[in-house]
Chain A
């Protein structure tokens, strides 16, 4: 299995609080992605990174920010959590040619916003 870990694996938080999810890889892959998975929607891209300090928005980026200060770590922050952000969040990595290569996925983080 690709070396991808996500932390925390489960989190319950209250509306309005900030939340940070961490993705850590040991593969030295260039591309990293954050998705959310909701029933009936498949996975939707939130943000992605194509290198250290290089990030771009995905299709559902409102309310989320990311940072990548090291190759191995990609952080997703919910600045002020809302109930609509209750979801399962997956991190993925991909090698140097981005979407020509397959992605490898982390185990997911289940976030509940009450």
Chain B
């Protein structure tokens, strides 16, 4: 069965410093992987997706993620945090038949001025 583990429930960074949000997945096949962001009291927005093309994926707002099959990881990074990045971030994996998605429990990012 598929599963997604987001290793940190809360991350706090200062504005202008790098962001690292960690995600590990377990899967017996090569899944599709996604990162979504949810700002307070809002719906979810896609940041980026990996679907077996380039392993380094660039997304919106300066975010990127690298698919590492050997480590079963898909960590999200950004070189310089902005106050507007404060939100909750979800790592998502597809199932084997690409019918369903499984969400991690989320990481809340706090950005300090």
Are chains A and B native binding partners rather than an unrelated pairing? yes
A residues near B (Cβ < 8 Å) are: 31, 33, 35, 40-45, 48, 50, 56, 58-59, 90, 92, 97-100, 102-108
Q: A100-B32, A105-B43 are contacts. A45–B100 as well, Cβ < 8 Å?
A: yes
A-B contact count (CB 8 A): 63
B residues with CB within 8 A of A: 6, 9, 32, 34, 42-46, 49, 51, 90, 94-95, 97-106
* Docked-complex contact A99 and B101, CB < 8 angstroms: yes
A/B interface sample: 19 pairs, CB < 8 A = A33-B100, A35-B103, A42-B106, A43-B44, A43-B90, A44-B103, A48-B100, A90-B43, A92-B44, A97-B98, A98-B94, A98-B97, A99-B32, A100-B98, A102-B34, A103-B44, A103-B46, A105-B45, A106-B43
Contact B99 A50 (CB under 8 A): yes
Q: Is the CB of A98 within 8 A of B44?
A: no
- Closest B residue to A4 by CB, please name it: B43
Q: Which of B32, B42, B44 has the most CB of A within 10 A?
A: B44
CB distance from B99 to the nearest CB of A (A): 5
Q: In the complex, are the beta carbons of B44 and A100 less than 8 A apart? A: no
B102 to chain A, nearest CB (A): 8
Whether the Cβ atoms of B99 and A56 lie closer than 8 Å is: yes
Chain B min CB distance to A64 (Å): 15
The CA of A104 and the CA of B34, in the complex, are separated in Å by 12
Shortest distance from the beta carbon of A35 to any chain B beta carbon, whole Å: 8
Q: Which are the 3 A-B pairs with shortest beta-carbon distances?
A: A99-B94, A42-B103, A99-B98
Determine whether the beta carbon of B99 is less than 8 Å from that of A48.
yes
